[in-house]
Amino acid sequence: MKTEAPVRRLDETDAEILKVLVSSARLSSRRIAEKVGVSTATVISKIRAMEQSGIIKGYAAILDQEKLGYELTVITEITVSKGKLLEMEQEIAKIPNVCAVYDVTGLTDAMVIAKFKNRSELSNFTKYLLSMPFIERSNTHVVLTTLKEDYRLI
């Protein structure tokens, strides 16, 4: 069984380091230290501690999905039967086009955010979802315009 790292409280320096990393994760520890106004050793130890506690999960480039050909973004509501929500969500999360899977309150059980290059891919995804055991129904919303899509909150 995986044990969770203890919750780590962020101090002001941690928050400043995270702001710099979120805006440009390619900066060296020395450059981050200059921006934050602390020593390089402090930056290195604080980043290491945030990685070990799971606050920093990894580093990635932020891509423009539309420029990569992913023209369609959808939000799909899923209703699951017989208490199999977790199992269905885990299977849906494995689908390469799926960006996010959320348990939600309300009339449906889960919301799925996914991106597709064309209607054919979307059609195959929808048909696959409906073929899964315990999926009672889905309701897919096609995003017309994206005004903001940025999960960098700090």
Q: In what helix (H) or strand (E) does residue 135 lie, and over which residues does it extend? A: strand 135-142
CA–CA dist 100, 112 (Å, integer): 6
Give percent above pLDDT 70 in the chain. Answer: 95
Tokens encoding 6: 């203890």
Q: Which of 114, 128, 113, 127 is nearest to 70 (CA)?
A: 114
CATH 2.130.10.10, applies to 72-142: no
The architecture (CATH level 2) of 1-61 comes to Orthogonal Bundle (1.10)
Q: Give residue 142's pLDDT.
A: 98
> Where along the chain do its domains lie?
1-61, 72-142
pLDDT in tens, 21-52: 999 999 999 999 999 999 999 999 999 999 99
Mean pLDDT of 113-117: 98
- Bridge partner list, 88: none
Q: Taking the complete model, does pTM exceed 0.85, yes or no?
A: no
